Amino acid sequence: MGKYIVTVIDAPGHRDFIKNMITGTSQKSFWEISMEVEMYLKKSGYNPRAVAIVPISGWHGDNLLNPNINGWTFESMNGKMEEITLCNALDAIQPPVRPTGKPLHLPVQDVYELGGIGTIPVGRVETGILKPNMFVHFSPANLTAEVKSMEMHHVRLTAAFPGDNVGFNVKNISIKDIHRGYVAGDSKVDPPAEADSFDSHASS
């Protein structure tokens, strides 16, 4: 049952915030809470009609697998579904399009040095594709090196795509030359460069 494997994370919050949240939500109806969530989504640039707001109860199992609260709908890109459950909402998720066609950008999160292997920068591919034997350019250090190999979760890869957290071995660069915060890119296709300034625009 279901189309996707989903990991649900219960992120910890500040204890004062949790107390106030529980107090506030316990004094409001589901309708009032839904309206506040919709207002927040609008302010954040989302279309509330395309976001499923599903009231659930882990204690009673309400709206987890079977609908228990009626009278509300969710409009997906594929049409309208009524009385959706949490599982329905998760199945209606539209997978994001990975920006593989853009230039490679990989912010370096950490750098290691392994005996007999060499320098290994670690980071998450944000755009583009990282492959062995390609030459990457590190900015702002203005260094270029060949990628000898790369791994993700101790599995050797032939290519890394946006969203992949990888470690990659580079030739002839010392661990002292690369630092957290540097950005790696394809040396031949729009490599990352320093900027004196940039314009930031809020999304509409």
Direct distance between the N- and C-terminal alpha carbons of the chain, in angstroms, rounded to an integer: 37
Instruction: Give the pLDDT score at 20.
Output: 59
C-alpha 99/C-alpha 181 separation (Å) is 21
C-alpha 129/C-alpha 105 separation (Å) is 9
Mean pLDDT by 10 residues, the chain (204 residues): 74 60 59 74 79 73 70 54 74 84 95 90 96 95 94 94 95 92 94 83 56
Query: Angle CA(32)–CA(35)–CA(39) in degrees, nearest 5?
Result: 140
Instruction: Give the pLDDT score at 112.
Output: 93
Tokens of 100: 């593989």
For strand 143-152 and strand 165-170, is the pairing parallel, antiparallel, or unpaired?
antiparallel
C-alpha 194/C-alpha 176 separation (Å) is 20
